[in-house]
């Protein structure tokens, strides 16, 4: 997982680079909580580009970070979600609470053939 803090916009971007099971969810939780405490970002963005699997511990980790960021007055967004993860977020109810943007690369592929 890679994190990047953008000073100008006080945005913390977390790029998840491995499938999310309980072990990885715990690592992300610890790292992100630490970075939220250090930077106090106005906005946190989870980038799920390339992630195909996430179990219920991943959903809990996402919801917990969402609640933390909201409690601190920030906003939370999930980007680059493929259809499989979008379905998981929809079935769990996460997509009703958190702004989720589907995979931007897929949108570009759809629009390539249009003139």
Domain ranges of the chain: 2-112
pLDDT of residue 104: 59
pLDDT of residue 50: 87
- Report which of 56, 71, 62 is spatially closest to residue 95, judged by C-alpha positions: 62
Using the 8-state DSSP alphabet, how is residue 47 labeled?
Answer: E
- The pTM is what? 0.83
pLDDT of residue 102: 80
Q: Name which CATH class applies to 2-112.
A: alpha beta
The span from the CA of 52 to the CA of 5, in Å, is 25
pLDDT of residue 114: 44
pLDDT digits (tens, 9 = 90+) for 59-110: 999 999 999 999 999 999 999 999 999 999 999 999 999 999 887 555 444 4
pLDDT digits (tens, 9 = 90+) for 7-32: 989 999 999 999 999 999 999 999 99
First to last CA, the chain: 37
């Amino acid at each position: 997982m890679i994190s990047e803090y953008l000073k100008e916009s006080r945005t913390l971007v977390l790029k998840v680079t491995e499938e999310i099971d309980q072990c990885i969810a715990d690592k992300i939780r610890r790292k992100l909580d630490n970075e939220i405490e250090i930077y106090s970002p106005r906005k946190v963005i989870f980038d799920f580009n390339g992630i195909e699997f996430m179990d219920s511990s991943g959903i809990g980790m996402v919801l917990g970070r969402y609640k933390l960021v909201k409690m601190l007055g920030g906003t939370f967004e999930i980007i680059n979600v493929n259809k499989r993860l979008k379905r998981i977020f929809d079935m769990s109810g996460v997509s009703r609470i958190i702004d989720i943007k589907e995979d931007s690369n897929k949108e570009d592929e759809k629009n390539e053939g249009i003139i």
